[in-house]
Protein backbone atom coordinates (compact mmCIF):
# COMPACT_ATOMS: atom_id res chain seq x y z
CA UNK A 1 0.00 0.00 0.00
CA UNK A 2 2.87 2.32 0.79
CA UNK A 3 5.63 2.98 -1.60
CA UNK A 4 9.16 1.99 -0.69
CA UNK A 5 10.24 5.58 -0.44
CA UNK A 6 7.52 6.35 2.04
CA UNK A 7 8.37 3.30 4.11
CA UNK A 8 12.00 4.32 4.23
CA UNK A 9 11.06 7.86 5.37
CA UNK A 10 8.78 6.56 8.09
CA UNK A 11 11.47 4.22 9.30
CA UNK A 12 14.02 7.05 9.55
CA UNK A 13 11.50 9.25 11.36
CA UNK A 14 10.68 6.55 13.89
CA UNK A 15 14.34 5.92 14.54
CA UNK A 16 14.95 9.63 15.08
CA UNK A 17 12.03 9.88 17.48
CA UNK A 18 13.32 7.00 19.48
CA UNK A 19 16.78 8.54 19.59
CA UNK A 20 15.36 11.84 20.87
CA UNK A 21 13.29 10.01 23.47
CA UNK A 22 16.37 8.19 24.84
CA UNK A 23 18.63 11.25 25.18
CA UNK A 24 17.31 12.59 28.62
CA UNK A 25 17.64 9.15 30.20
CA UNK A 26 21.30 8.94 29.15
CA UNK A 27 22.04 12.39 30.59
CA UNK A 28 20.28 11.54 33.91
CA UNK A 29 22.56 8.58 34.52
CA UNK A 30 25.73 10.73 34.17
CA UNK A 31 27.30 12.47 37.28
CA UNK A 32 26.11 16.03 37.75
CA UNK A 33 28.68 18.62 37.02
CA UNK A 34 29.78 20.91 39.92
CA UNK A 35 30.46 24.56 39.62
CA UNK A 36 34.14 25.50 39.89
CA UNK A 37 35.04 27.64 42.93
CA UNK A 38 36.94 30.90 42.63
CA UNK A 39 38.87 30.15 45.88
CA UNK A 40 41.83 27.83 46.42
CA UNK A 41 41.27 24.42 47.84
CA UNK A 42 41.88 24.31 51.68
CA UNK A 43 45.12 22.69 52.64
CA UNK A 44 44.82 19.41 54.55
CA UNK A 45 45.62 19.45 58.26
CA UNK A 46 49.11 18.27 59.08
CA UNK A 47 49.72 16.44 62.36
CA UNK A 48 53.31 16.93 63.59
CA UNK A 49 54.55 14.25 66.02
CA UNK A 50 57.62 15.53 67.87
CA UNK A 51 60.06 13.01 69.30
CA UNK A 52 62.40 14.14 72.18
CA UNK A 53 66.06 14.52 71.46
CA UNK A 54 68.81 12.75 73.38
CA UNK A 55 69.59 15.90 75.34
CA UNK A 56 65.98 16.28 76.41
CA UNK A 57 65.88 12.65 77.51
CA UNK A 58 69.02 13.11 79.64
CA UNK A 59 67.68 16.34 81.13
CA UNK A 60 64.39 14.67 82.02
CA UNK A 61 66.22 11.74 83.64
CA UNK A 62 68.46 14.11 85.64
CA UNK A 63 65.46 16.15 86.77
CA UNK A 64 63.66 12.99 87.89
CA UNK A 65 66.75 11.84 89.81
CA UNK A 66 67.17 15.25 91.47
CA UNK A 67 63.51 15.35 92.46
CA UNK A 68 63.80 11.90 94.04
CA UNK A 69 66.97 12.88 95.90
CA UNK A 70 65.32 16.08 97.16
CA UNK A 71 62.29 14.15 98.39
CA UNK A 72 64.50 11.63 100.15
CA UNK A 73 66.61 14.38 101.72
CA UNK A 74 63.48 16.17 102.88
CA UNK A 75 62.21 13.00 104.53
CA UNK A 76 65.57 12.54 106.29
CA UNK A 77 65.51 16.15 107.49
CA UNK A 78 61.97 15.69 108.79
CA UNK A 79 62.98 12.53 110.65
CA UNK A 80 66.02 14.27 112.12
CA UNK A 81 63.91 17.22 113.20
CA UNK A 82 61.42 14.92 114.91
CA UNK A 83 64.25 13.07 116.67
CA UNK A 84 65.78 16.35 117.85
CA UNK A 85 62.44 17.51 119.19
CA UNK A 86 62.00 14.18 120.97
CA UNK A 87 65.46 14.44 122.54
CA UNK A 88 64.78 18.03 123.53
CA UNK A 89 61.53 17.00 125.17
CA UNK A 90 63.30 14.18 127.05
CA UNK A 91 66.05 16.52 128.25
CA UNK A 92 63.51 19.10 129.39
CA UNK A 93 61.60 16.43 131.32
CA UNK A 94 64.81 15.09 132.88
CA UNK A 95 65.89 18.58 133.98
CA UNK A 96 62.47 19.24 135.49
CA UNK A 97 62.66 15.96 137.39
CA UNK A 98 66.17 16.74 138.70
CA UNK A 99 65.75 20.35 139.78
CA UNK A 100 63.87 20.74 143.05
CA UNK A 101 61.18 23.41 143.08
CA UNK A 102 62.08 24.77 146.53
CA UNK A 103 65.78 25.26 145.71
CA UNK A 104 67.32 28.22 143.88
CA UNK A 105 69.61 26.99 141.13
CA UNK A 106 71.16 30.18 139.78
CA UNK A 107 73.10 31.62 142.75
CA UNK A 108 73.86 28.21 144.29
CA UNK A 109 75.24 26.87 140.99
CA UNK A 110 77.58 29.87 140.86
CA UNK A 111 78.76 29.11 144.40
CA UNK A 112 79.44 25.50 143.41
CA UNK A 113 81.50 26.69 140.46
CA UNK A 114 83.45 29.03 142.73
CA UNK A 115 84.13 26.12 145.10
CA UNK A 116 85.42 23.98 142.22
CA UNK A 117 87.66 26.84 141.09
CA UNK A 118 88.93 27.30 144.64
CA UNK A 119 89.85 23.61 144.75
CA UNK A 120 91.85 24.02 141.57
CA UNK A 121 93.63 27.06 143.02
CA UNK A 122 94.39 25.29 146.30
CA UNK A 123 96.02 22.34 144.50
CA UNK A 124 97.60 24.37 141.72
CA UNK A 125 101.12 23.14 142.60
CA UNK A 126 100.08 19.47 142.58
CA UNK A 127 99.62 17.10 139.67
CA UNK A 128 96.47 17.06 137.58
CA UNK A 129 94.94 14.10 139.42
CA UNK A 130 95.12 15.82 142.80
CA UNK A 131 93.81 19.06 141.32
CA UNK A 132 90.88 17.23 139.76
CA UNK A 133 90.08 15.36 142.97
CA UNK A 134 90.32 18.50 145.09
CA UNK A 135 88.10 20.50 142.75
CA UNK A 136 85.57 17.66 142.47
CA UNK A 137 85.46 17.08 146.21
CA UNK A 138 84.86 20.74 147.00
CA UNK A 139 82.21 21.05 144.28
CA UNK A 140 80.40 17.89 145.45
CA UNK A 141 80.49 18.97 149.08
CA UNK A 142 79.18 22.42 148.22
CA UNK A 143 76.43 20.92 146.06
CA UNK A 144 75.31 18.58 148.86
CA UNK A 145 75.25 21.52 151.25
CA UNK A 146 73.51 24.11 149.06
CA UNK A 147 71.36 21.88 146.82
CA UNK A 148 70.73 18.64 148.70
CA UNK A 149 67.53 17.59 146.89
CA UNK A 150 68.79 18.49 143.44
CA UNK A 151 72.06 16.66 144.08
CA UNK A 152 70.15 13.59 145.25
CA UNK A 153 67.94 13.64 142.15
CA UNK A 154 71.03 14.00 139.97
CA UNK A 155 72.60 10.93 141.58
CA UNK A 156 69.37 8.98 140.97
CA UNK A 157 69.38 9.97 137.29
CA UNK A 158 73.02 8.93 136.97
CA UNK A 159 72.17 5.52 138.44
CA UNK A 160 69.35 5.14 135.92
CA UNK A 161 71.71 6.01 133.08
CA UNK A 162 74.23 3.48 134.34
CA UNK A 163 71.56 0.78 134.38
CA UNK A 164 70.43 1.76 130.90
CA UNK A 165 73.91 2.05 129.41
CA UNK A 166 76.36 -0.56 130.78
CA UNK A 167 79.27 1.26 129.13
CA UNK A 168 78.62 4.27 131.34
CA UNK A 169 78.64 2.03 134.42
CA UNK A 170 82.00 0.61 133.32
CA UNK A 171 83.38 4.11 132.85
CA UNK A 172 82.08 5.10 136.29
CA UNK A 173 83.73 2.03 137.81
CA UNK A 174 86.99 2.91 136.08
CA UNK A 175 86.80 6.46 137.43
CA UNK A 176 86.12 5.15 140.95
CA UNK A 177 89.11 2.81 140.69
CA UNK A 178 91.29 5.67 139.53
CA UNK A 179 90.03 7.86 142.39
CA UNK A 180 90.70 5.11 144.92
CA UNK A 181 94.19 4.58 143.53
CA UNK A 182 94.87 8.30 143.65
CA UNK A 183 93.54 8.48 147.20
CA UNK A 184 95.78 5.59 148.19
CA UNK A 185 98.76 7.30 146.61
CA UNK A 186 97.89 10.51 148.43
CA UNK A 187 97.62 8.66 151.75
CA UNK A 188 100.94 6.92 151.12
CA UNK A 189 102.54 10.23 150.18
CA UNK A 190 101.16 11.90 153.31
CA UNK A 191 102.36 9.02 155.47
CA UNK A 192 105.82 9.17 153.95
CA UNK A 193 105.92 12.94 154.30
CA UNK A 194 104.74 12.65 157.89
CA UNK A 195 107.38 10.03 158.62
CA UNK A 196 110.10 12.07 157.00
CA UNK A 197 108.94 15.19 158.80
CA UNK A 198 108.89 13.37 162.14
CA UNK A 199 112.31 11.95 161.46
CA UNK A 200 113.64 15.36 160.52
CA UNK A 201 112.06 16.87 163.64
CA UNK A 202 113.60 14.18 165.80
CA UNK A 203 117.01 14.64 164.20
CA UNK A 204 116.76 18.41 164.59
CA UNK A 205 115.72 18.01 168.24
CA UNK A 206 118.57 15.65 168.94
CA UNK A 207 121.04 17.98 167.24
CA UNK A 208 119.73 20.95 169.21
CA UNK A 209 119.86 18.96 172.42
CA UNK A 210 123.47 17.94 171.75
CA UNK A 211 124.45 21.50 170.84
CA UNK A 212 122.79 22.92 173.93
CA UNK A 213 124.40 20.25 176.05
CA UNK A 214 127.80 21.15 174.65
CA UNK A 215 127.27 24.84 175.32
CA UNK A 216 126.13 24.20 178.87
CA UNK A 217 129.08 21.89 179.50
CA UNK A 218 131.46 24.56 178.26
CA UNK A 219 130.19 26.83 181.03
CA UNK A 220 131.65 24.52 183.64
CA UNK A 221 135.28 23.91 184.34
CA UNK A 222 134.95 20.15 184.07
CA UNK A 223 132.56 17.96 181.92
CA UNK A 224 132.15 15.40 184.68
CA UNK A 225 129.96 17.72 186.68
CA UNK A 226 126.67 15.84 187.24
CA UNK A 227 124.69 19.06 187.38
CA UNK A 228 124.97 19.54 183.63
CA UNK A 229 122.85 16.54 182.62
CA UNK A 230 120.29 17.27 185.34
CA UNK A 231 120.00 20.87 184.14
CA UNK A 232 119.52 19.79 180.53
CA UNK A 233 116.91 17.22 181.49
CA UNK A 234 114.99 19.83 183.45
CA UNK A 235 115.04 22.16 180.44
- Give how many domains the chain has, as a whole number: 3
Question: Helix 166-218 crosses helix 148-164 at what angle (to 10 degrees)?
Answer: 120
Question: H or E element: which one contains 125?
Answer: none
What distance in Å separates the CA atoms of residue 233 and residue 235, rounded to the nearest whole number? 5
Q: Decide if 103 contacts 153 (C-beta within 8 A).
A: no
What distance in Å separates the CA atoms of residue 142 and residue 134, rounded to the nearest whole number? 12
Question: H or E element: which one contains 189?
Answer: helix 166-218
Task: Report DSSP state, residue 204.
Answer: H
Task: For residue range 50-61, list pLDDT tens digits in order.
Answer: 777 888 888 988
Number of continuous H segments (helices) and E segments (strands) in the chain: 7, 0
- Residues 157 and 197 grouped into a single domain: no
Which residue, 98, 114, 146, sits at the end of a domain?
Answer: 98
What distance in Å separates the CA atoms of residue 183 and residue 130, rounded to the nearest whole number? 9
Longest dimension (CA), the chain: 230
Give the pLDDT score at 48: 74
* pTM recorded for the entire structure: 0.43
Q: Is 90 helix (H, G, I), strand (E, B) or coil?
A: helix
Is residue 130 in a domain? yes
User: 104 φ, ψ to 5°?
Assistant: -85, 120
Is residue 49 in a domain? no
Is residue 65 in a domain? yes
- Residues 107 and 89 grouped into a single domain: no
Is residue 170 in a domain? no
Confidence of residue 81 (pLDDT cuts 50, 70, 90): very high
**At residue 68, does pLDDT exceed 50?**
yes
- Residues 89 and 122 grouped into a single domain: no
Is residue 41 in a domain? no
Task: For residue range 130-179, list pLDDT tens digits in order.
Answer: 888 888 888 888 888 888 898 888 888 888 887 887 887 777 777 677 66
- Residues 120 and 141 grouped into a single domain: yes
What distance in Å separates the CA atoms of residue 192 and residue 208, rounded to the nearest whole number? 24
Confidence of residue 98 (pLDDT cuts 50, 70, 90): confident
Is residue 31 in a domain? no
**Residue 73 is part of which domain span?**
58-98
Q: Measured on CA atoms in the order 95, 98, 102, 106, is the torsion positive or negative?
A: negative
Task: Report DSSP state, residue 222.
Answer: -
Is residue 40 in a domain? no
- Residues 93 and 115 grouped into a single domain: no
- Residues 190 and 234 grouped into a single domain: yes
Out of 2-6, 13-17, 39-43, least confident range: 2-6
- Residues 234 and 184 grouped into a single domain: yes
Q: How far is CA 206 from CA 78, 197, 214, 226, 228, in A?
A: 83, 14, 12, 20, 16
Amino acid sequence: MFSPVLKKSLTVAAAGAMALHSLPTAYAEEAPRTKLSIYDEPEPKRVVIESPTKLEEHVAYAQKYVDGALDEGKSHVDNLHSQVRSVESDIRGTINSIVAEDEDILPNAMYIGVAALAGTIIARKRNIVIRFLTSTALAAGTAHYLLPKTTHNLCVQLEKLERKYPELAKAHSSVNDAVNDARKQIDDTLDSLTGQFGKQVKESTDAAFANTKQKVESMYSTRSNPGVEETLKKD
